[in-house]
Every structure is written in C-alpha cells, then in structure tokens.
Amino acid sequence: MRTARDLAGDLLAVHERTGQWVGERLEAERKRLRDPRDRGLLTELVHGVVRQRGSLDTVLARVSKRPLKDLNRVVLTGLRLGAYQLLYLDRVPDHAVLDTTVAWASHHTGPRRAGYVNGALRGLLSRIDKRRVEAVRDARKDLPRPDGSAVRFRARTFADPELEWGLNRAQRWSHPRWLVERWEQSLGRERTDAVLAAGLSRPPVVVRARVDRAVLLERLAAEGITAREGEGPDALVVEGSEGHLGAVIAEGLAAVQDATSQVVAPRVQPQAGESVLDLCAAPGGKALHLADLMRRGRLVAADVDETRLKRVTALSRTMGDVELVTTIVPPEGPLPFDERTFDRILVDAPCSNTGVLRRRVEARWRLRPEDITTLAGIQGRLLERAWPLLRPGGRLVYSTCSIEPEENEAIAAAFIAATPGARLADELRTFPSPDADGGYLAVFERR
C-alpha cells in the first residue's frame, strides 16, 4: 500500500521530470487514500514542496556535495521532500522522515543514490541550531515558516540583506528573485515583505454566506466546524479543509470564495430583471455571486474553455429564478453578441496571479517578466471587445487577481484615454493579507 509520502514523492518526481502541473494529478491520487488525514498530508507535502522550492534548494545547496543541477531528478525530489518535512512540519519525528524518504529514494533509484539522500538530510539536521524560534531575528540565518515562526541555522545560510536584499528575500520567502526585486521597486520593502509573507502562508478557507451569516455560523457550529467572521459582510474564515463543507454548499447555504473575490460582484450592481454578461466566467464563483444578487434576470456566462464552463453550468441548480446561459467565445476577435445587449458586464480577466500565489503554488515558478506585458495586451483587448456590448447607462467591472500596476491601473487609464463615453467610477487594489487574497477592480460607466 502506497503511503501519502510515497504518493507525494511520485507526484513531485513526475512534476520535476515533465513540468506537468501537480494539480492535474493530485486530486486523483487523493482519492486513493481513504483516511482524510492522509489526503491532507498528501496535499500539504505536494503543495508545500512546490511552494517552498526556492528556499529548499537554497538550504540543500549548503549541504549537498554536488551542485543541485547535477543531481538525478529523483534524488533532488527526495531531498526536497525530506527537507520540507524537517523544516516546515513538526509532528513527524526526524528519524521517521529520514527512514521514509530514504526508502522512497531507494525504491526509485537504488541504495547508492538513496545513501546520498540520507547523508545530505543528516547534514541538514546538523546545520539546524533551533528548530523553532518565535520570530525572525537574523535575516542571514533564519528561515521563515508559514505560522510566523522560523528555523534558525547555526551558520549564515542566506545572502546578506545589506548587499543583496532581493536575493535574501527570494531565498527565504521562496519567490523568484526578479519578482521580489520588481515588488521592491513598485511597492517598497515594507509592503514587499508583507506580500512575501502572505505568499508563504497556507491559504485560508473562506466561504461566502448565501444566507444570513449568523445563521450559517450556527449551522457550521452545529456540525462541529469552527468558523469566524472574515473581511467583508458575508465572509467566513473556516478552520480545516473545504472537504468539511460539502453539506452547506450542496444545500446552497455557502459558496467557497475568497474575501477579495467577494468584493467584485457587488460592484457590478446587478439588478433584478437585467441582462448581465460574465466574461471569462469559469469556474463560476463570481457568476454564482451575480446570480445571488440579481435574484431574477438573464445571466450569460462566457468563457473560452468549454470543459471549465461546464462547472458554471453545474451551479445553475442553485441560482433560483436567474436564467443562466453559457456560451463558448473565441479568444480573439468579436464576441458573439449584439452591441448594447447587456446592462452590466463583468470582465474577470486572465492575469499573472500575483495576488493569489499561495493558492496557485506553481504560478510563481512559471511566471516570466515578459508574461506580464503579454497579459496586459490580452486584458486591454478584452475590455475593447466587451465595451460595445454595454448599453448606455450601464456598468462594466474589470477585475484581476494580480497586484501588478501594468495589469491594473495602467489598463484602466489606457482604456479611459482611448474610449469616448467611458467614465472610471471607482477602482480598488487589494494586497494579500492573512484572511484575503490580493486583486484589483475598476468600475467603468457608459454615458
């Protein structure tokens, strides 16, 4: 019987060898585990190793006798898997981490390479001074952890922040150096540190109450689920995983939706009886929110991805008297709707995801500097394509889960400058916090 650690190693090895997104196989592997604790451990290990790859490699480079780039890919995966447990998880004894990791490596690569894994991980253990200190004190020795504590090493492990501030942060907070230095320039060091800390943290489980929030709190408490009020009038932060919420979601009492995402649909201000377009609608969280606010009317959910759009269709049974129409649209060119058809439009544009990196653990490593420019072009064209569909007096909301000005304020400013009759009524950029993700929205009104 393959354990959660074995499955995590297998998934991570495939990811390292092929570049395949771990999310594509993780859910299937979770179903092979009967115990919910094992499913949780599998997710923690896979997401944690991918998220912390930069920090893990920095530390492992200090104890590996060979450059990491020259190691067998399976050996490197084993080192990362073992190091993650030693540095970031507290409940598993060190000897158990070593035994299970070395056994996994031996199964895949043989005893000689497994011996290398064993030696390097033991070297890592000898380098640790204190497994847990309550706060970061020395930026050259202290490795931050998601709960705000830190691991302290005996010797300097990270770049000198006085000489290479961006590299030091990239190594310790596990983000690409170019992105850290970009934020340092655009946000300043204090804000960048806060964003990096959020990117390291485990994402909160946040739901939107579709009934009175106090009623939902009572229902969750009756089921033994601990929750507290979050940011926004309908947000609840839930302890544990989404798996405990199946009943309240199925009954239409709640929807999993981050607090920042919950801000968007109310800014659209959909009214009963109106015709509303949700462009880029999949997987449907904002479409469902629009329907809840409308109560009745016509909601067109459009997307380029037919498979993902089916998830929106599945939500229609809880949308009450709202008529849901799903439509596949082309990625470029005119949209298949008549001009001035819609009273309200939401353009939830594809973006760099820099406001939600803790949720999309692979995004930070896939993103390149030039991608932001490419995405800004796509975002601008989406606005240009959607605007003719809006009726005079109507409202269009543009939103992203990015914190980059090129994808946000710059898009809004360029659109206003190029579009007669458009007025920027409001805009808001939110940065990641313990209870909410980062993102942006702009509200345009058509005269």
> Which residues contact residue 67 at a Cβ distance below 8 angstroms, ignoring those fewer than 6 apart?
61
Range in 76-80, 198-202, 402-406 with the lowest mean pLDDT: 198-202
What would the pLDDT profile of 226-271 be if each residue is shown by its tens digit? Answer: 999 999 999 999 998 887 899 999 999 999 999 999 999 999 999 9
263-446 to CATH, choices 3.40.50.300, 3.90.1300.10, 3.90.550.10, 3.40.50.150: 3.40.50.150
Counting runs of H as helices and runs of E as strands, what totals does the chain give?
18, 14
Please give the average per-residue pLDDT across 359-377, as a whole number. 96
Rounded Cα distance between 357 and 402, Å, is 9
Which residue in 401, 412, 436, 441 is the catalytic one?
Answer: 401
CB atoms within 10 A of CB 197: 18
Inform me whether the pLDDT recorded for 1 exceeds 80: no
More confident residue, 412 or 39: 412
Rounded Cα distance between 89 and 44, Å, is 10
Mean of per-residue pLDDT scores for the chain? 95
Q: Which residues pair with 144 in a beta bridge?
A: 150
Rounded Cα distance between 153 and 50, Å, is 22
pTM: 0.94
Inform me whether the pLDDT recorded for 30 exceeds 90: no
Q: Is the preceding peptide bond at 434 cis, omega within 30 degrees of 0?
A: no
Please give the average per-residue pLDDT across 331-342, as a whole number. 96
Inform me whether the pLDDT recorded for 21 exceeds 90: no
Q: Which two tokens stand for residue 313?
A: 């269709």
pLDDT for 36: 85
pLDDT tier for residue 139 given thresholds of 50, 70 and 90: very high
* Helix spans in 387-443 (H): 409-418
Inform me whether the pLDDT recorded for 349 exceeds 80: yes
Q: Check if 1-132 and 263-446 are the same fold.
A: no
What would the pLDDT profile of 309-330 be if each residue is shown by its tens digit? Answer: 999 999 988 998 999 999 999 9
* Helix spans in 150-188 (H): 165-173, 177-187
**Which class for 182: exposed (0-12), middle (13-18), buried (19 or more C-beta within 10 A)?**
middle
1-132 to CATH, choices 3.90.70.10, 3.40.190.10, 1.10.940.10, 3.30.499.10: 1.10.940.10
Q: Is 351 a residue of the active site?
A: no
Inform me whether the pLDDT recorded for 18 exceeds 90: no
Domain boundaries defined on the chain: 1-132, 263-446
**Distances, alpha carbon 30 to alpha carbons 7, 43, 89, 204, 294, in Å:** 9, 8, 20, 20, 37
pLDDT for 127: 97
Rounded Cα distance between 186 and 181, Å, is 9
pLDDT tier for residue 28 given thresholds of 50, 70 and 90: confident
Q: Tokens 């916090």 — which residue?
A: 433
Do the beta carbons of residue 326 and residue 335 sit within 8 Å? no
Angle at 178 between CA 176 and CA 184, to 5 degrees: 105
Compute CA 425 distance to the chain's CA centroid, rounded to the nearest angstrom.
Answer: 28
Percentage of the chain exceeding pLDDT 70: 100
pLDDT for 19: 84
What would the pLDDT profile of 261-273 be if each residue is shown by its tens digit? Answer: 999 999 999 999 9
